[in-house]
Amino acid sequence: MMDIHAILKSLPHRYPFLLVDRVIELEKGKRIKALKNVTINEPFFVGHFPHRPVMPGVLMLEALAQAAALLSFDTLGVTPDEKTVYYFVGIDGARFKRPVEPGDQLILEVEVDRQKAGIFKFNAKAKVGDELAAEAQLMCTMRRLP
């Protein structure tokens, strides 16, 4: 549905912080399903943890937020530019259920819960196969820079 080239046009993030590789499903204003391929070459594995590499939970939440941003931009019909920033404004109920390791494919599933006054609230889940790795409610908003 959206390859890396389209993602790069929509998200300002770049290596090593771009955490969405492909969008496989997108239902405007409702939901998105995206992928993050986790490899041993990720820079965070050098220190987290050298003896047993595990993807940090906060980066799973960031990957979900990036997928949520793609859903928001599509919902609003906007393409962000250098004057647009998409911010986290809240994370509730974050839970980590399974470690994510090199070789895993993280499936990012985000649904719009509600949208009000420029703030989106999402229900988000990250899975490896059918196993839940992380879940949270995310709140995000888009702002124009002066």
pLDDT of residue 84: 86
Pick the catalytic residue: 5, 13, 48, 51? 48
C-alpha to C-alpha distance for 56 and 73, rounded to whole angstroms: 26
pLDDT of residue 81: 86
Instruction: Identify whether 13 is a catalytic site residue.
Output: no
Picking from 80, 72, 49, 50, the residue whose alpha carbon sits closest to that of residue 121 is: 72
Domain 4-144 - what CATH class?
alpha beta
First to last CA, the chain: 33
pLDDT of residue 144: 87
pTM of the model: 0.96
Task: Label residue 32 exposed, middle or buried (CB < 10 Å: 0-12, 13-18, 19+).
Answer: buried
pLDDT of residue 83: 87
Successive 10-residue mean pLDDT values, the chain, 146 residues:
95 95 98 98 95 97 97 92 90 98 98 95 98 98 90
Write down the domain spans for the chain.
4-144
